[in-house]
Chain A
């Protein structure tokens, strides 16, 4: 049987290896939790400065309102008292197409393509043409449009942070700015946090697939918070809504053919 090769970890005698690092004699005291997450996704350590950007991304994307759909799933399932069940169910609710950090993977893939074609056009008349052609060739542009409000406050805060930290000159961040400027001018659609995360993660050296995975892991604390609280509350209203808060819109009451025959034969 051919062994499955892993680069993740191995339990040694007296030590544990993790992506080429020695956990106890190398990482302990040096690496942060976010840095470990970077190791998990990228398979390599990031610099302290890059980990600070990751921390900022995690903070900026924090939207933990329990009413947000996947978080609601976590609370509903955790309402019987088991935090981990709620946490796991909430994670599954992120496997969708629309309410999902996976969209950041799509945004990153699109942005990476744009960055390649934009290269060398910065500030020239050709820049707008390149962006316009990119938008025309991208059927479902990820990272734009914001539900329930006009601007995404999380994107605006991240943009300010990136400027303050001198990170706004990254190639993908600049591509994002060119794209966002064009889309606002032509379509009046504002950028959301997804395109900001995608650009920042690409500039940290992530592939689009890694960017999508990172975006998922960076919000896990929001599920932890909701699942933990909901498990402790064991809220009856989460376990069961009052019947008068449910409206039945399905098939009307009907008699089955066999019940009908049974009734007529009596």
Chain B
């Protein structure tokens, strides 16, 4: 008797009766002692010849990036990396830390909140991504900078990219900070919502976790529990 076979006396049911594949498909990482990502050996090739940004772009896009794309991604990654504690992801991670949870729970909390934040950001810029997909560039209009602080940030982004040999026509317009960063990620090869959301999440995770790690656990009385203010009313 096949030791893997289900016991029909106990395990008969629609799931057991239907045909299913007998193997799990791997589409990115080859399992085993000498793993490869999208075909490139991790230990004997990628680790010796490529940087972290290139490895991340390879994983997210399936192809190794050009030098300029990797440079643009690194710059955008830095710009996206702050996770201020007044925003929900780092705030939630800090509260989880105060609750004295495991590192896994802190990481999970931060990752979920960051992924939700990234999903909201990308959703709010769906029109921009459509314009980039149509080859129109980020442009201004709906994606224009809201104030001089944004303009200054985009100017710093332009300068950082230029120092790495990257000049993006999209950034020459009066474009806002997030549209400019999404256009940079697009140039780096992230041309779908899914990998862009992944990049936003990955970029902020270290800082969000670091904010939590820096918070004393059990520090309930040191946390402003009344912020933001919440007021109870009986249901109407």
Contacts and interface: CB of A to CB of B under 8 A. Distances in A.
Interface of A: 1-10, 17, 19-20, 43-44, 65, 67-68, 82, 84-85, 88, 92, 147-149, 241, 243, 245-259, 262
Contacts of B230: 3-6
Given A250-B27, A250-B29, 19 more contacts: A3-B229, A4-B230, A4-B231, A8-B232, A44-B235, A65-B13, A68-B15, A82-B105, A245-B24, A246-B23, A247-B24, A247-B26, A249-B27, A250-B30, A251-B62, A256-B50, A259-B45, A259-B48, A262-B48
Contacts of B44: 259
Contact of B39 (A19, A20, A148, A254): A254
Classify chain B: how many residues form its interface, as a range. Answer: 35 or more
24 contacts: A1-B229, A4-B228, A4-B231, A6-B231, A7-B234, A7-B235, A7-B236, A17-B234, A82-B104, A84-B105, A85-B105, A148-B18, A241-B24, A243-B31, A246-B23, A246-B25, A246-B26, A248-B25, A248-B26, A250-B27, A251-B62, A253-B30, A256-B45, A256-B50
A4 B229 contact: yes
Contacts of B41: 253
B9 to A, nearest CB: 17
A68 B16 CA distance: 12
Interface string B108-119: 100010000000
A65 B86 CA distance: 41
A251 B39 contact: yes
Contacts of B125: none
A67 B30 contact: no
B26 to A, nearest CB: 5
A254 B50 contact: no
The 6 closest A-B pairs by CB, nearest first: A251-B39, A10-B232, A3-B231, A258-B49, A148-B14, A3-B229
Could you say which of B44, B46, B232, B234 has the most chain A C-beta atoms within 10 Å of its C-beta? B232
A67 B13 CA distance: 12
B36 interface: yes
B233 A243 contact: no
A28 B3 CA distance: 51
Nearest to A261: B49
Nearest to B112: A92
Contact of B15 (A17, A65, A259): A65
B22 interface: yes
B232 A257 contact: no
B102 interface: yes
Contacts of B17: 148
B64 interface: yes
A148 B15 contact: yes
Nearest to B27: A250
Contacts of A8: 232
Contacts of A249: 25-27
Contacts of B38: 250-251
Contacts of B104: 82, 85
Nearest to B63: A251
A78 to B, nearest CB: 12
Interface string B1-25: 0000000000001110110001111
B2 to A, nearest CB: 14
A254 B39 CA distance: 5
Contact of B50 (A92, A245, A258): A258
B135 interface: no
A17 B229 contact: no
